[in-house]
Copies of this chain bind each other. A is one copy, B any other.
Amino acid sequence: MASDGKVRIGVIGAGRIGKIHIENLVYRVPDATVVAVADVDVENTRKWAAPYGIKKVLAEPKELINDPEIDAVVICSPTDTHAEYVIEAARAGKQIFCEKPIAQKLDTTKQALAAVEEAGVKLQIGFNRRFDANFKGIRQLVESGKIGEPHLVNITSRDPAPPPIDYVKISGGIFMDMTIHDFDMARYLTGSDVVEVYAVGNVLIDPAIKDAGDFDTAVTILKFANGAVCTIDNSRQAVYGYDQRVEVFGSKGAATAQNETATRVTVSSESGVVSDKPLYFFLERYMESFAQEMNDFVACIRNNTTPPVTGEDGLQSLLIAMAATKSAKENRPVKLAEIG
Protein backbone atom coordinates (compact mmCIF):
# COMPACT_ATOMS: atom_id res chain seq x y z
CA MET A 1 0.00 0.00 0.00
CA ALA A 2 1.00 3.58 -0.59
CA SER A 3 2.04 5.78 2.30
CA ASP A 4 -1.45 7.35 2.19
CA GLY A 5 -2.94 3.95 2.86
CA LYS A 6 -4.36 3.63 -0.65
CA VAL A 7 -4.09 0.40 -2.57
CA ARG A 8 -2.01 0.98 -5.71
CA ILE A 9 -3.56 -0.75 -8.65
CA GLY A 10 -2.46 -1.74 -12.12
CA VAL A 11 -5.09 -2.66 -14.69
CA ILE A 12 -4.33 -5.12 -17.49
CA GLY A 13 -6.57 -4.59 -20.51
CA ALA A 14 -8.36 -1.33 -21.22
CA GLY A 15 -11.24 -2.71 -23.24
CA ARG A 16 -14.87 -2.17 -22.35
CA ILE A 17 -14.80 -3.76 -18.91
CA GLY A 18 -11.27 -2.53 -18.14
CA LYS A 19 -12.38 1.04 -18.73
CA ILE A 20 -15.33 0.59 -16.41
CA HIS A 21 -13.10 -0.68 -13.64
CA ILE A 22 -10.64 2.19 -14.14
CA GLU A 23 -13.35 4.83 -14.00
CA ASN A 24 -14.79 3.30 -10.88
CA LEU A 25 -11.39 2.93 -9.21
CA VAL A 26 -10.57 6.57 -9.96
CA TYR A 27 -13.87 8.18 -9.05
CA ARG A 28 -15.71 5.85 -6.77
CA VAL A 29 -13.09 3.88 -4.79
CA PRO A 30 -11.54 6.38 -2.38
CA ASP A 31 -9.08 3.84 -1.01
CA ALA A 32 -7.45 2.98 -4.34
CA THR A 33 -5.11 4.68 -6.80
CA VAL A 34 -4.72 3.52 -10.37
CA VAL A 35 -0.98 3.62 -10.92
CA ALA A 36 -0.66 1.92 -14.29
CA VAL A 37 -2.61 0.47 -17.20
CA ALA A 38 -1.31 -2.06 -19.70
CA ASP A 39 -2.93 -2.48 -23.10
CA VAL A 40 -1.71 -3.55 -26.53
CA ASP A 41 -3.10 -0.34 -27.97
CA VAL A 42 -0.82 1.91 -25.95
CA GLU A 43 -1.43 5.04 -27.92
CA ASN A 44 -5.22 5.17 -27.66
CA THR A 45 -5.13 3.99 -24.09
CA ARG A 46 -2.73 6.81 -23.22
CA LYS A 47 -5.13 9.39 -24.68
CA TRP A 48 -8.08 7.83 -22.96
CA ALA A 49 -6.30 7.54 -19.61
CA ALA A 50 -4.90 11.08 -19.44
CA PRO A 51 -7.94 12.79 -17.88
CA TYR A 52 -7.96 10.17 -15.15
CA GLY A 53 -4.48 11.21 -14.03
CA ILE A 54 -2.97 7.78 -14.72
CA LYS A 55 0.73 8.18 -15.28
CA LYS A 56 1.97 4.86 -16.57
CA VAL A 57 0.47 3.37 -19.69
CA LEU A 58 2.34 0.27 -20.82
CA ALA A 59 2.18 -2.17 -23.70
CA GLU A 60 3.50 -5.08 -21.70
CA PRO A 61 1.40 -6.59 -18.89
CA LYS A 62 4.40 -8.31 -17.37
CA GLU A 63 6.11 -4.99 -16.86
CA LEU A 64 3.04 -3.83 -14.95
CA ILE A 65 2.82 -7.04 -12.96
CA ASN A 66 6.39 -6.65 -11.79
CA ASP A 67 6.16 -2.96 -11.00
CA PRO A 68 7.12 -2.60 -7.32
CA GLU A 69 4.86 0.43 -7.02
CA ILE A 70 1.82 -1.77 -7.63
CA ASP A 71 0.02 -3.66 -4.87
CA ALA A 72 -2.72 -5.29 -6.88
CA VAL A 73 -3.57 -6.13 -10.47
CA VAL A 74 -6.97 -6.08 -12.09
CA ILE A 75 -6.99 -8.49 -15.04
CA CYS A 76 -9.39 -7.49 -17.83
CA SER A 77 -7.53 -8.86 -20.84
CA PRO A 78 -9.01 -11.55 -23.16
CA THR A 79 -10.05 -14.74 -21.37
CA ASP A 80 -7.30 -16.91 -22.82
CA THR A 81 -4.65 -14.73 -21.12
CA HIS A 82 -6.26 -14.68 -17.66
CA ALA A 83 -4.55 -17.74 -16.20
CA GLU A 84 -1.10 -16.70 -17.36
CA TYR A 85 -1.41 -13.26 -15.77
CA VAL A 86 -2.89 -14.68 -12.60
CA ILE A 87 0.09 -17.00 -12.25
CA GLU A 88 2.61 -14.27 -12.94
CA ALA A 89 0.91 -11.83 -10.63
CA ALA A 90 0.76 -14.43 -7.86
CA ARG A 91 4.46 -15.12 -8.29
CA ALA A 92 5.12 -11.38 -8.13
CA GLY A 93 3.23 -11.30 -4.83
CA LYS A 94 0.43 -9.11 -6.09
CA GLN A 95 -3.17 -9.20 -4.95
CA ILE A 96 -5.37 -10.19 -7.88
CA PHE A 97 -8.74 -9.36 -9.29
CA CYS A 98 -9.48 -11.44 -12.39
CA GLU A 99 -12.48 -11.18 -14.67
CA LYS A 100 -14.42 -14.41 -15.05
CA PRO A 101 -13.57 -17.08 -16.05
CA ILE A 102 -9.98 -17.78 -15.04
CA ALA A 103 -9.86 -20.17 -17.97
CA GLN A 104 -12.21 -22.32 -20.01
CA LYS A 105 -10.12 -25.37 -19.18
CA LEU A 106 -10.08 -27.12 -15.87
CA ASP A 107 -6.37 -27.89 -15.60
CA THR A 108 -5.38 -24.35 -16.53
CA THR A 109 -7.76 -23.05 -13.89
CA LYS A 110 -6.35 -25.38 -11.30
CA GLN A 111 -2.79 -24.35 -12.13
CA ALA A 112 -3.72 -20.72 -11.63
CA LEU A 113 -5.40 -21.45 -8.32
CA ALA A 114 -2.38 -23.47 -7.21
CA ALA A 115 -0.08 -20.56 -7.98
CA VAL A 116 -2.32 -18.23 -5.97
CA GLU A 117 -2.41 -20.71 -3.10
CA GLU A 118 1.36 -21.09 -3.12
CA ALA A 119 1.99 -17.36 -3.21
CA GLY A 120 -0.52 -16.71 -0.44
CA VAL A 121 -2.03 -13.78 -2.30
CA LYS A 122 -5.68 -12.91 -2.64
CA LEU A 123 -7.67 -13.69 -5.76
CA GLN A 124 -11.11 -12.24 -6.43
CA ILE A 125 -13.13 -13.42 -9.43
CA GLY A 126 -15.28 -10.96 -11.39
CA PHE A 127 -18.77 -12.24 -10.66
CA ASN A 128 -20.09 -8.72 -10.38
CA ARG A 129 -23.74 -9.61 -9.87
CA ARG A 130 -23.08 -10.61 -6.28
CA PHE A 131 -22.57 -6.90 -5.57
CA ASP A 132 -25.93 -5.83 -6.89
CA ALA A 133 -28.14 -4.47 -4.10
CA ASN A 134 -31.08 -6.66 -5.14
CA PHE A 135 -29.27 -9.96 -5.13
CA LYS A 136 -27.26 -9.05 -2.06
CA GLY A 137 -30.55 -8.22 -0.37
CA ILE A 138 -31.91 -11.65 -1.19
CA ARG A 139 -28.73 -13.35 -0.04
CA GLN A 140 -29.05 -11.54 3.28
CA LEU A 141 -32.66 -12.66 3.62
CA VAL A 142 -31.54 -16.26 3.09
CA GLU A 143 -28.60 -15.91 5.49
CA SER A 144 -30.76 -14.33 8.17
CA GLY A 145 -33.14 -17.27 8.01
CA LYS A 146 -36.06 -14.98 7.25
CA ILE A 147 -37.29 -17.11 4.38
CA GLY A 148 -36.24 -20.35 6.04
CA GLU A 149 -34.42 -23.21 4.37
CA PRO A 150 -34.13 -22.63 0.59
CA HIS A 151 -36.15 -25.17 -1.37
CA LEU A 152 -36.38 -23.68 -4.85
CA VAL A 153 -34.37 -21.07 -6.74
CA ASN A 154 -35.52 -19.62 -10.07
CA ILE A 155 -33.18 -17.51 -12.14
CA THR A 156 -34.26 -15.75 -15.31
CA SER A 157 -31.29 -14.39 -17.24
CA ARG A 158 -31.83 -13.17 -20.76
CA ASP A 159 -29.66 -10.93 -22.89
CA PRO A 160 -31.20 -8.25 -25.10
CA ALA A 161 -29.34 -9.43 -28.22
CA PRO A 162 -26.90 -12.19 -29.15
CA PRO A 163 -23.18 -11.41 -29.32
CA PRO A 164 -21.41 -11.42 -32.70
CA ILE A 165 -20.95 -14.89 -34.17
CA ASP A 166 -17.17 -14.49 -34.02
CA TYR A 167 -17.47 -14.04 -30.29
CA VAL A 168 -19.88 -16.98 -29.99
CA LYS A 169 -17.26 -19.20 -31.61
CA ILE A 170 -14.61 -18.52 -28.96
CA SER A 171 -16.99 -18.03 -26.05
CA GLY A 172 -16.83 -21.59 -24.80
CA GLY A 173 -20.56 -21.94 -25.35
CA ILE A 174 -23.59 -20.38 -23.70
CA PHE A 175 -23.15 -22.23 -20.39
CA MET A 176 -19.51 -21.16 -20.07
CA ASP A 177 -20.05 -17.62 -21.30
CA MET A 178 -23.48 -16.57 -20.11
CA THR A 179 -25.03 -19.06 -17.70
CA ILE A 180 -21.81 -19.15 -15.66
CA HIS A 181 -22.97 -15.91 -14.01
CA ASP A 182 -26.21 -17.61 -13.05
CA PHE A 183 -24.36 -20.65 -11.72
CA ASP A 184 -22.40 -18.37 -9.44
CA MET A 185 -25.58 -16.54 -8.48
CA ALA A 186 -27.31 -19.81 -7.56
CA ARG A 187 -24.39 -20.82 -5.33
CA TYR A 188 -24.27 -17.35 -3.80
CA LEU A 189 -27.98 -17.18 -3.05
CA THR A 190 -28.28 -20.63 -1.51
CA GLY A 191 -24.88 -20.77 0.16
CA SER A 192 -24.72 -24.38 -0.94
CA ASP A 193 -22.77 -26.40 -3.51
CA VAL A 194 -24.13 -27.96 -6.66
CA VAL A 195 -23.89 -31.73 -6.96
CA GLU A 196 -25.66 -32.44 -10.23
CA VAL A 197 -26.70 -30.59 -13.37
CA TYR A 198 -29.25 -31.20 -16.10
CA ALA A 199 -29.25 -28.80 -19.03
CA VAL A 200 -31.19 -28.37 -22.24
CA GLY A 201 -29.97 -26.22 -25.10
CA ASN A 202 -31.83 -25.14 -28.23
CA VAL A 203 -31.30 -22.83 -31.17
CA LEU A 204 -34.50 -20.84 -31.66
CA ILE A 205 -33.15 -17.40 -32.52
CA ASP A 206 -30.32 -17.58 -35.05
CA PRO A 207 -29.26 -20.66 -37.05
CA ALA A 208 -25.75 -19.18 -37.28
CA ILE A 209 -25.42 -19.90 -33.57
CA LYS A 210 -26.16 -23.53 -34.32
CA ASP A 211 -23.53 -23.54 -37.04
CA ALA A 212 -21.09 -22.17 -34.47
CA GLY A 213 -21.87 -25.21 -32.31
CA ASP A 214 -23.69 -23.27 -29.63
CA PHE A 215 -27.20 -22.72 -28.25
CA ASP A 216 -29.16 -19.48 -27.96
CA THR A 217 -31.86 -20.75 -25.59
CA ALA A 218 -31.12 -22.88 -22.55
CA VAL A 219 -32.69 -24.24 -19.42
CA THR A 220 -30.64 -25.70 -16.59
CA ILE A 221 -31.57 -27.51 -13.41
CA LEU A 222 -29.08 -27.50 -10.55
CA LYS A 223 -29.38 -29.89 -7.62
CA PHE A 224 -27.76 -28.62 -4.45
CA ALA A 225 -26.12 -30.51 -1.63
CA ASN A 226 -28.79 -29.20 0.75
CA GLY A 227 -31.67 -30.56 -1.33
CA ALA A 228 -32.64 -27.28 -2.99
CA VAL A 229 -33.32 -27.30 -6.71
CA CYS A 230 -32.60 -24.37 -9.01
CA THR A 231 -33.94 -23.63 -12.48
CA ILE A 232 -32.17 -21.21 -14.80
CA ASP A 233 -33.64 -20.05 -18.06
CA ASN A 234 -31.53 -18.22 -20.63
CA SER A 235 -32.16 -16.58 -23.92
CA ARG A 236 -29.74 -14.63 -26.05
CA GLN A 237 -32.51 -12.33 -27.24
CA ALA A 238 -35.17 -10.74 -25.06
CA VAL A 239 -36.51 -8.02 -27.32
CA TYR A 240 -37.63 -5.96 -24.31
CA GLY A 241 -34.14 -5.72 -22.80
CA TYR A 242 -31.88 -7.37 -20.25
CA ASP A 243 -34.06 -9.60 -18.11
CA GLN A 244 -32.40 -10.36 -14.79
CA ARG A 245 -34.64 -11.74 -12.10
CA VAL A 246 -34.18 -14.22 -9.28
CA GLU A 247 -36.40 -15.87 -6.73
CA VAL A 248 -35.53 -17.93 -3.70
CA PHE A 249 -38.40 -19.90 -2.21
CA GLY A 250 -37.94 -21.34 1.25
CA SER A 251 -39.75 -22.93 4.14
CA LYS A 252 -40.75 -19.54 5.58
CA GLY A 253 -41.40 -17.54 2.42
CA ALA A 254 -40.06 -16.34 -0.87
CA ALA A 255 -37.84 -13.43 -1.89
CA THR A 256 -37.99 -12.10 -5.43
CA ALA A 257 -35.94 -9.48 -7.26
CA GLN A 258 -37.67 -7.82 -10.20
CA ASN A 259 -35.92 -5.95 -13.00
CA GLU A 260 -34.49 -2.49 -12.53
CA THR A 261 -35.85 0.23 -14.80
CA ALA A 262 -34.72 3.71 -15.73
CA THR A 263 -37.75 5.34 -14.12
CA ARG A 264 -40.86 4.51 -12.11
CA VAL A 265 -43.09 6.29 -14.58
CA THR A 266 -46.27 4.64 -15.85
CA VAL A 267 -48.44 6.01 -18.60
CA SER A 268 -52.12 5.15 -18.69
CA SER A 269 -53.81 5.67 -22.03
CA GLU A 270 -56.37 4.03 -24.25
CA SER A 271 -53.83 1.38 -25.18
CA GLY A 272 -53.04 0.24 -21.64
CA VAL A 273 -50.84 1.06 -18.69
CA VAL A 274 -47.24 1.18 -19.83
CA SER A 275 -44.13 1.15 -17.69
CA ASP A 276 -40.42 1.06 -18.47
CA LYS A 277 -38.61 -1.85 -20.00
CA PRO A 278 -35.74 -3.34 -18.00
CA LEU A 279 -32.44 -1.47 -18.26
CA TYR A 280 -30.95 -2.43 -21.61
CA PHE A 281 -27.84 -4.45 -20.82
CA PHE A 282 -25.20 -5.20 -18.21
CA LEU A 283 -23.47 -1.83 -18.37
CA GLU A 284 -26.67 -0.05 -17.43
CA ARG A 285 -27.98 -2.75 -15.14
CA TYR A 286 -24.86 -3.54 -13.18
CA MET A 287 -23.08 -0.15 -13.11
CA GLU A 288 -23.43 0.09 -9.35
CA SER A 289 -22.36 -3.48 -8.80
CA PHE A 290 -19.11 -2.90 -10.70
CA ALA A 291 -18.27 0.01 -8.41
CA GLN A 292 -19.15 -1.99 -5.32
CA GLU A 293 -17.09 -4.92 -6.58
CA MET A 294 -13.95 -2.79 -6.78
CA ASN A 295 -14.58 -1.23 -3.39
CA ASP A 296 -14.92 -4.66 -1.86
CA PHE A 297 -11.78 -5.90 -3.60
CA VAL A 298 -9.80 -2.98 -2.22
CA ALA A 299 -11.35 -3.45 1.22
CA CYS A 300 -10.38 -7.12 1.41
CA ILE A 301 -6.79 -6.14 0.69
CA ARG A 302 -6.77 -3.37 3.25
CA ASN A 303 -8.47 -5.44 5.92
CA ASN A 304 -6.72 -8.66 4.99
CA THR A 305 -9.94 -10.60 4.69
CA THR A 306 -11.08 -13.27 2.28
CA PRO A 307 -12.25 -11.85 -1.07
CA PRO A 308 -16.03 -11.88 -1.48
CA VAL A 309 -15.69 -14.09 -4.58
CA THR A 310 -12.85 -16.58 -4.29
CA GLY A 311 -10.88 -18.69 -6.74
CA GLU A 312 -12.84 -21.66 -5.45
CA ASP A 313 -16.03 -19.88 -6.47
CA GLY A 314 -14.55 -19.46 -9.93
CA LEU A 315 -13.62 -23.13 -10.05
CA GLN A 316 -17.05 -24.32 -8.93
CA SER A 317 -18.85 -22.26 -11.56
CA LEU A 318 -16.48 -23.62 -14.19
CA LEU A 319 -17.25 -27.17 -13.10
CA ILE A 320 -20.98 -26.49 -13.29
CA ALA A 321 -20.58 -24.95 -16.73
CA MET A 322 -18.65 -27.98 -17.92
CA ALA A 323 -21.24 -30.31 -16.45
CA ALA A 324 -24.06 -28.32 -18.08
CA THR A 325 -22.32 -28.39 -21.44
CA LYS A 326 -21.86 -32.14 -21.16
CA SER A 327 -25.44 -32.62 -19.96
CA ALA A 328 -26.92 -30.67 -22.85
CA LYS A 329 -24.80 -32.64 -25.30
CA GLU A 330 -25.54 -36.08 -23.84
CA ASN A 331 -29.10 -35.32 -22.63
CA ARG A 332 -28.62 -36.75 -19.17
CA PRO A 333 -28.01 -35.38 -15.67
CA VAL A 334 -24.29 -35.00 -14.98
CA LYS A 335 -22.77 -35.08 -11.52
CA LEU A 336 -20.09 -32.51 -10.75
CA ALA A 337 -17.99 -35.39 -9.45
CA GLU A 338 -17.80 -36.67 -13.04
CA ILE A 339 -15.95 -33.53 -14.10
CA GLY A 340 -12.36 -33.01 -13.13
Contact = CB atoms under 8 A, between A and B. Distances in A.
A270 B223 CA distance: 27
Interface residues of A, number: 69
Given A273-B274, A273-B277, A333-B331, A219 B240 contact: no
A258 to B, nearest CB: 4
21 contacts: A141-B267, A152-B219, A152-B235, A154-B231, A200-B223, A202-B229, A217-B227, A221-B221, A239-B253, A239-B270, A240-B268, A252-B270, A253-B270, A254-B267, A254-B269, A255-B267, A268-B277, A268-B278, A272-B275, A272-B276, A273-B274
B233 A231 contact: yes
State the oligomeric state as a number of copies.
4
Contacts of A137: 262-263, 265
A254 B233 CA distance: 13
A198 B259 CA distance: 29
Contact of A149 (B204, B228, B249): B204
Contact of A251 (B146, B204, B265): B204
A316 interface: no
A134 B263 contact: yes
B263 A133 contact: yes
A264 interface: yes
A260 B264 contact: yes
